[in-house]
Amino acid sequence: MNNGDEMQDRAKIWLESKKFLQDFHNKTIIVKIGGRVISNEQMLNNFLEDVVLLNLFGMKIVVVHGGGPEISDEMRKMGVKPKFIEGLRVTDEKTMEILHEQLAGKISSQIVQGIRRAGGIAHSMSGMDSNLITAHKMPFKTTTSKGKEIEIDLGFVGEVEKVNPTVINNIIKDAIPVIAPIGIDSEGRSLNINADMVAAEIAGAMHAKKLVIVTDVMGVMRDPNDEKTLISAMTADDIQPLMQQGIIKKGMIPKVDACMKALQLGVERCHIINGAMPHVLLLEILTETGVGTMIVRSK
């Protein structure tokens, strides 16, 4: 390919992107970054370059982050064994202290610094700041092997009651908000909340155009070992049958549940994408076909 052909191809890419840049200009996009992406410095920095570029194009980007692997590693270093029940982290007082240090401290700072290196401006906060996220302890019931339903106390694990979008709107005028998924209850106690669901609730409260969940797999695949089986688009009605068939399972369930919640709250489209793919956010948002799984409301 000569230089002229290469330049023509680049021009075609920008022309294809023009429609999406116009459609999404001044629109809010909530991006949730998972712990697997955060733990890989090169992957995270590449992804944050996309975040900054979309922000420079006039999109209002809000970053919500998790940090499960880092938190578990830090707990082990401190002699605290991580405990999970059906994928939910049991959170006692010591674990909550570590969550504050890792989520609202180290990980938020890492993302803010990455955004600044990429040429953007960012501001970190947790859901506790200015009562951004009010929450309550999450009741949890499970069924024993003998079929008996029991309630288990997960500790300081919560679910969102309300998001105060004014706090985020005040920041988003001048910077990219970076939010740690810690809420506050009516008694002033901090609660650990699933980051996917926090992102969904924020997306709904801010009337976001899109919710994008960034993980370490391509999206929803019929065969998890074969990327060619990626389901590139589905509606909310497709979700339950795919769960019953065992196609949506394990770690994908909370991500799909968060997408369903966001759609119920009025978000137009949700996306699940692989943060390991270079410029995956640009490819998903600024191209016709995208590269992950897009979920929309049923007609």
| Domains of the chain (ranges, CATH numbers) | 23-296 (3.40.1160.10)
Instruction: Provide the whole-model pTM.
Output: 0.92
Cα–Cα distances in angstroms (integers) from residue 253 to residues 3, 29, 136, 239, 248, in the given order:
46, 22, 22, 10, 6
How many alpha carbons fall within 13 Å on the CB side of residue 1?
8
Say how far apart CA 31 and CA 53 lie, in whole Å.
14
Chain segment 176-195, per-residue pLDDT in tens: 999 999 999 999 999 999 99
Going residue by residue through the chain, which has 299 residues, state the pLDDT in tens, using 9 for 90 and above.
456 566 565 556 666 677 788 888 899 999 999 878 898 889 999 999 999 999 999 999 999 999 888 888 888 998 888 988 877 888 999 999 999 999 989 999 999 999 999 999 999 999 999 999 999 999 888 887 777 888 888 999 999 999 999 999 999 999 999 999 999 999 999 999 999 999 999 999 999 999 999 998 999 999 988 989 999 999 999 999 999 999 998 889 999 999 999 999 999 999 999 999 999 999 999 888 889 999 999 87
From the list 37, 16, 29, 52, the residue with the least C-alpha distance to 271 is 29
Chain segment 249-292, per-residue pLDDT in tens: 888 999 999 999 999 999 999 999 999 999 999 999 988 888 99
Name the burial class of residue 299, with classes exposed (0-12), middle (13-18) and buried (19+) by CB atoms within 10 angstroms of its CB.
Answer: exposed
